[in-house]
Amino acid sequence: MKPDEFEQQLQSRPLRPVPSEWRAEILEAAHRASCPRPAVTDRPPAPWWREWLWPCQQAWAGLAAVWMLLLGWQFAAPSAPSSVTRQSPDPEKQTALAAQRRELARLLEVPADPAPAAEPVAPGPRSERISPSKV
């Protein structure tokens, strides 16, 4: 069937009335569509901190979680190691350390107790001026 014939057939048929239930629904939908909706820009602006955090919430949440873990770890760690390092080592450890140093010096052929360095001599005056007492 050609398009022209189809159109002629449609024109020859009488139009049926729209059911009244449908008419009410169609008019209600048209009315809702024609009413102005509040635009998205009608919302009050977000606080500055929210605008700053919004693009990467997951990244900031992850960073905050890492900081919380670090703080928890810091406060949960015992403070004993700092007091242990302040104490002087016991005499047995000192003698063992001295023996190890002597053995290392012997193996490296370096004197175990180096001679104390000579005290530096204070430099003399730099001026070439003759003092009045010498003239």
Is 111 domain-assigned?
no
Is 88 domain-assigned?
no
Question: What's the whole-model pTM score?
Answer: 0.27
- pLDDT score for 19: 82
Is 135 domain-assigned?
no
Mean pLDDT by 10 residues, the chain (135 residues): 84 85 87 73 74 78 93 82 62 91 86 62 70 59
Q: Which two tokens stand for residue 114?
A: 């180096």
Is 91 domain-assigned?
no
Is 53 domain-assigned?
yes
Q: What is the DSSP string of 52-116?
A: HHGGGHHHHHHHHHHHHHHHHHHHHS-SHHHHHHHSPPPHHHHHHHHHHHHHHHHHTT--SSPPP
- pLDDT score for 69: 95
56: exposed, middle or buried (Cβ count in 10 Å: 0-12, 13-18, 19+): exposed
- pLDDT score for 87: 65
- pLDDT score for 112: 53
Is 132 domain-assigned?
no
Is 3 domain-assigned?
no
Number of domains into which the chain is organized: 1
- pLDDT score for 117: 63
Is 24 domain-assigned?
yes
**Segments forming the whole domain that contains residue 57:** 9-36+47-74
